[in-house]
Structure 1
Amino acid sequence: MLSTLPQGTDLDTTQIRLAIRGLHPQLIHWRRQLHQFPELGFQERLTADLIHRTLQDLGIEHQTEVAKTGIVALIDSGRPGPVLAIRADMDALPVTEESEVSYRSQHLGIMHACGHDGHTAIALGTAQYLAQHRDSFRGQVKIIFQPAEEGPGGAKPMIEQGALDNPRVDGIVGLHLWNNLPLGTVGVCAGPLMAAVETFSCTILGRGGHGAMPHQTVDSIVVAAQVVTALQTIVARNINPLEAAVVTVGELQAGSALNVIADTARMRGTVRYFDPKFQHYFAPRLETMIKGICEAQGASYEFHYHHLYPPVINDPGMADLIRSVALAVLETPAGLVPDCRTMGGEDMAFFLQEVPGCYFFLGSANPRQGLDYPHHHPRFNFDEAALPIGVEMFVRCVEQFSAGWPA
Structure 2
Amino acid sequence: MNFNKVIANGYGMKDWLVNIRRDIHITPELAMEEFVTKEKIKVYLNEIGIPYKEYKDHRGIMAYIINENNRHTVAIRADIDALPIRENNNKSYKSKNEGVMHACGHDAHTTMLIGACKLLYEMKEELNVNVKFLFQGAEETYGGAEYLIKDGCLENPTVDYMFGLHVQPYLETGFIECKSQVFNASSNSIRIRIKGKRAHGAYPENGIDALVCAAQIITSLQSIISRNLSPTNMAVLTLGKIEGGEAQNVICEEVEIVGTIRALNKKSKDMIINRARDMIKNIAIAYKCEGRLIVEGNGYPELINHEDMVEVLKTNTKILLGEKSYIEKEVPAMGAEDFSFYTKNCKGVFFNLGCGNKEKGISSLIHTNEFDIDENCLPIGSLIHVLNVLYFNKKS
After TM superposition, the score normalised by the length of structure 1 is 0.92
1:266 pairs with 2:253 = no
State the partner residue of 2:194: 204
What amino acid maps onto 2:312 in structure 1? L
Contact 1:186 1:336 in 2 (8 A): yes
Shift of 1:236: 0.9
Q: How does 1:305-324 map to 2 (within 5 A)?
A: 305-306=295-296, 307-324=298-315
Aligned pair partner of 1:189 in 179, 184, 193? 179
> Aligned-pair distance for 1:274?
1.1
Asked if residue 362 in structure 1 is aligned to residue 322 in structure 2, the reply is no
* Contact 1:67 1:161 survives alignment (8 Å): no
Structure 2 stretches of 5 or more lacking a match?
Answer: none
Of the candidates 25, 32, 41, which is equivalent to residue 42 of structure 1? 32
The reply on whether 1:130 has 2:120 as its aligned counterpart is yes
| Structure 1 unmatched runs, 5+ | 1-9
Q: Is the 8 A contact 2:173 2:357 kept in 1?
A: yes
Cα offset, 1:335, TM superposition:
4.0
Moved more, 129-138 or 22-31: 129-138
Partner of 2:391: 400
The 3-state SS of whatever aligns with 2:32 is coil
What CA distance in whole angstroms lies between the structure 1 residues aligned with 2:12 and 2:64?
23
| Distance in 1 of aligned mates of 2:306 and 2:232 | 22
Task: Flag the 1:335–1:172 CA change in 2: closer, same or farther, 3 A.
Answer: closer
The aligned residue for residue 285 of structure 1 is 275
CA contact (8 A) 1:63 1:73 kept: yes
The residue identity in structure 1 corresponding to 2:334 is M
- Per-residue CA deviation, residues 9-48 of structure 1 (Å, 9 max, x unaligned), is x5333x2221111110111111101011111112211111
Per-residue deviation at 1:78?
A: 8.4
What does residue 54 of structure 1 align with? 44
The equivalent of 1:99 in structure 2 is 89
Aligned residue pairs, count: 395
For residue 354 of structure 1, give the secondary structure of its aligned residue in structure 2.
coil
* Cα distance between partner residues in 1 of 2:343 and 2:13: 29
AA matched with 2:276: L
2:382 aligned residue: 391
AA of the residue aligned to 1:101: K
Whether contact under 8 Å (1:37, 1:105) holds in the other structure is yes
Q: CA deviation at 1:285?
A: 2.2
Cα distance in 2 for residues equivalent to 1:240 and 1:66: 46
Give the TM-score, by structure 2 length.
Answer: 0.95
1:303 is paired with a residue whose SS is strand
Q: Residues of 2 paired with 1:341 and 1:366: CA distance?
A: 23
Residue 202 of structure 1: how far off its partner (Å): 1.1
1:240 shift after superposition = 2.5
Q: CA deviation digits over 1:86-137, x for unaligned, max 9?
A: 0011011111212211111111221111000000000000000111122554
Where do residues 239-278 of structure 1 align in structure 2 (5 Å cutoff)? 239-278=229-268
In the TM superposition, residue 328 of structure 1 has moved relative to its aligned partner by 1.5
CA contact (8 A) 1:184 1:335 kept: no
- Contact kept, 8 Å, 1:35 with 1:103, in 2: the verdict is yes
Deviation at 1:181, TM superposition (A): 1.9
Q: Indicate if the aligned counterparts of 2:276 and 2:293 stay in contact, CA closer than 8 A.
A: no
The code of the aligned residue for 1:400 comes to: Y
C-alpha distance in 1 between matches for 2:6 and 2:22: 24
Letter in 2 for 1:244: M
Answer whether contact 1:66 1:158 (CA < 8 A) is retained: no
Asked if residue 234 in structure 1 is aligned to residue 243 in structure 2, the reply is no
Which has the larger displacement, 374-383 or 289-298? 374-383
- Tell me the residue number matched to 1:141: 131
Name the Cα RMSD after superposition.
1.8
**More deviation in 340-349 or 27-36?**
340-349
Aligned equivalent of 1:171: 161
Match of 2:371 among 377, 380, 401: 380
**Is the CA contact (8 Å cut-off) linking 2:10 and 2:379 kept in structure 1?**
yes
- Does residue 303 of the first structure (1) align with residue 293 of the second (2)? yes
| Post-superposition offset of 1:308 | 1.5
**Counterpart for residue 328 of structure 1:** 319
What is the Cα deviation at residue 325 of structure 1?
1.1
Aligned-partner residue type, residue 29 of structure 2: E
Q: Secondary structure at the match of 2:93?
A: coil
Instruction: Note if contact 2:318-2:325 (Cα within 8 Å) is conserved in structure 1.
Output: no
Cα deviation, residue 238, structure 1: 1.4
Aligned mates of 1:40, 1:122 — CA distance in 2? 20
